[in-house]
Amino acid sequence: MTELASAPGEHAPETTDTSITPIHHWVGGRIVEGTSGRTSPVFNPSMGRQSGAVDLASVEEVGQAVTVAKETFASWRNVSLAKRAELMFNIRELVHTHKQDIAKLLVAEHGKVLSDAMGEVTRGLEVIEFACGIPTLLKGEFSEQASTGVDVYSIRQPVGVVAGITPFNFPAMVPMWMWAPAIACGNTFVLKPSEKDPSASVFTAELLREAGLPDGVFNVVHGDKVAVDALLEHPDIAALSFVGSTPIARYIYETGTKHGKRVQALGGAKNHMIVLPDADIEMAADAAVSAAYGSAGERCMAVSVVVAVGDAGDALVAAIKERLPKITVGDGMDPASEMGPLVTQAHRDKVASYLDSGAQQGASVLADGRETAPAGDGFFLGVSLLDNVTTDMDAYRDEIFGPVLGVMRVDSYDEALKLINDNPYGNGTAIFTRDGGVARQFQFDVEAGMVGINVPIPVPVAYYSFGGWNASLFGDSHIYGPEGIHFYTRGKVVTSRWPDPATSKVDLGFPQTR
C-alpha cells in the first residue's frame, strides 16, 4: 500500500524495450497516448519482470478527460431508461463472454491465480447485472392528494461527472462496483485505476464501446497522486468513489469534500475471525486457511487474525498448520497453483518483514513463507502463520495485506468481541460457532459493516451494499447495491397542482396541507 506521503514522479524512465507494452488512457471512446512524459512500470509478478509502462496523466490530461465527460453528460442523461437498461444488458453479455480474457489480464499484472481472477470478474458481473434493473431501481414515490388537488412525487437524477479511484487488488471488480451503477443512473464516468495493474480497465472500456455505450460516457485516465489530486480539485467532478488504503481514503474524503464533492472512500481493514470452542474445528480451519491465503491475502476482506476462544486454540492451530504444506504456490496461469505472488517486490518484502517483527515482539512463527516460496524472480512469499499474536505487535496493528495469518488466544467471547470493537478498522468479521444464540448476539454487538456467521468472507451480494465501519469507510454511503444508486443520484421532490384559474388568489401565509 502506498503511504500518503509518497511523492509523485518516482517512476521508471520511459523505456524503448519492445517487450514492455505501453498502456495509454481511454478518453472519448478511443485510446489516447499520454503527453506528460511520465510513466510507471507495470510488472508481471510471477516472473518478477516489467511487462508494461503505464502513462501517468498530467493535470491538463485529467482536465481533458473531465471535459469530455462533462460534454457527454447532457446527452447521456437524456437517454431513456429503456435504452440505458438495454445497454447494460449488452455490457453484461460482453463482459460475460470475455470473462476469461479479463481474468488473464488480472493474472498477468496482479498475480492472482486464474480461478480467483475468474471469481473476481464474476462478482463484478453481478453488480453489472444489478445495474441492468435500473428502470426499477430509479422508481420514485408518488402521493396523490397530499393536499386538496395537490400531488407530491420524488425523482432521482444523476449527479453529473463521477470519478472512481481504485486499488490494485481488484483491478476489474472494484471499478465495476462504481461505473456500472454510476453510468446506469445517467452519470458519465472518469476512472483512475491503480497504476500497478491498469490493463483490465482499458480492455473493459473497449468492451463498453463495443456494447454500444456512447463515446465519452466512460473514460480512463491513468496516473498517480498528480491525477488523483486533479480529480479531487476539479470543479466539474460532482462525486467521487474511492477504494484503497485508510490513509489515502481519509485524505480523499477530506480533500474531496473540501472541494464540494460528494465522496465515499472505502479504506483498509483488519478482519478478525472468532472461533468459539463449540465450533466445528475442521470447518473453521478450512475457512481460516481459505480466507487468509486466497489471493495471497491481498483482499480487504481477507481474514487476517483468527481469535481462538478458550480451548479451541490448540486444536485449531494444529488443524490450520496441517493444511499449509498442501497449498500450492506458483504462477497464476498454472492450473495447479492455488496462490500466486504478491503484487510487487517492495510489497512482498514489507509483508515478509512482519515475520521478523512478529518473532521479535514475541509471536511464534509456525510457518515462514520465505522458506517455502517458489524459486525464481517472482514476488512470491509462501503461506505464513504467527501464533500467540497480541495487540501490541506490528503484525496485529498493521493491515499486513499478504499471506500472513495471525492467531490470538483469548479466554472468552467477551474478550474476543472487545478485540474487534477496540480495533480502529471495522470492515468484515466472522464468527464460527454452533450456537445460534451467541451468533445472533455477535451480530448485534459487533462494530463492523459486514458480518459472517460461519462465513469467513462475507462480501454482500450485489443487491445489498458493501462497506465497513470506523476507519474502513469515510463518508456515509456504502458502495454498490441500493446505497450505490443513492450515492450516484440526487433526490428531487415535486409538488404539483392543476387548479382552476378561477379559484386563484394571493395568499401570503405559509402553505398548509390541511
Question: Can residue 194 be called a binding residue for ligand NAD (CB under 6 A)?
Answer: yes
Query: Binding string, 241-280, against ligand NAD, x = CB under 6 A?
Result: --xxx--x-----------------xxxx-----------
C-beta of 373 vs 450, nearer to ligand NAD: 450
Question: Can residue 40 be called a binding residue for ligand NAD (CB under 6 A)?
Answer: no
Instruction: Give per-residue burial for 327-365: e unless 16+ CB within 10 Å, then b.
Output: bebbbbeeeebbbbbbbbeebbebbbebbeebeebebeb
Question: Can residue 62 be called a binding residue for ligand NAD (CB under 6 A)?
Answer: no
Residue 423 burial (10 A CB sphere; 0-12, 13-18, 19+):
buried
Of 396, 401, 442, 487, which one interacts with ligand NAD (CB under 6 A)?
Answer: 401
User: Half-sphere exposure of 240 toward its Cβ, with a 13 Å CA cutoff?
Assistant: 32
C-beta of 277 vs 482, nearer to ligand NAD: 482
Question: Can residue 300 be called a binding residue for ligand NAD (CB under 6 A)?
Answer: yes
> Is-contact 478 133, C-beta < 8 A?
no
The C-alpha cell that represents 32 in the structure block: 489516447
Question: Can residue 58 be called a binding residue for ligand NAD (CB under 6 A)?
Answer: no
> Is-contact 328 336, C-beta < 8 A?
yes
Question: Can residue 452 be called a binding residue for ligand NAD (CB under 6 A)?
Answer: no
Of 87, 95, 165, 183, which one interacts with ligand NAD (CB under 6 A)?
Answer: 165
C-beta of 295 vs 433, nearer to ligand NAD: 295
Distance separating alpha carbons of residues 130 and 385, to the nearest angstrom: 38
Report the residue number whose CB is nearest to ligand NAD. Answer: 244
Distance separating alpha carbons of residues 428 and 449, to the nearest angstrom: 6
> Is-contact 479 456, C-beta < 8 A?
no
Question: Can residue 1 be called a binding residue for ligand NAD (CB under 6 A)?
Answer: yes
As measured in angstroms, the least distance from the Cβ of 269 to ligand NAD is 5
C-beta of 243 vs 306, nearer to ligand NAD: 243
Amino acid at 392: D
Distance separating alpha carbons of residues 251 and 254, to the nearest angstrom: 5
The C-alpha cell that represents 304 in the structure block: 487476517
First and final C-alpha spacing in the chain: 59
Of 94-102, 126-134, 240-248, 365-373: span binding ligand NAD (CB under 6 A): 240-248
CA 79, 80, 85, 87 dihedral sign is negative
Question: Can residue 39 be called a binding residue for ligand NAD (CB under 6 A)?
Answer: no
Cα 266–30–27 angle (5° rounding)? 40
Of 76, 130, 170, 480, which one interacts with ligand NAD (CB under 6 A)?
Answer: 170
As measured in angstroms, the least distance from the Cβ of 228 to ligand NAD is 4
As measured in angstroms, the least distance from the Cβ of 361 to ligand NAD is 22
User: Residue 300 catalytic?
Assistant: yes
**Which three-class secondary structure state does DSSP give residue 165?**
strand
Beta-carbon neighbour count of residue 411 at 10 Å?
Answer: 10
How many chain residues interact with ligand NAD (CB under 6 A)? 31
Block residue for cell numbers 483491478: 171
Catalytic residue among 300, 373, 383, 450: 300
- Residue numbers at the binding site for ligand NAD (CB under 6 A): 1-2, 4, 6, 165-170, 174, 192, 194-195, 224-225, 228, 243-245, 248, 266-269, 300, 399, 401, 427, 468, 472
Q: Which residues are catalytic?
A: 300
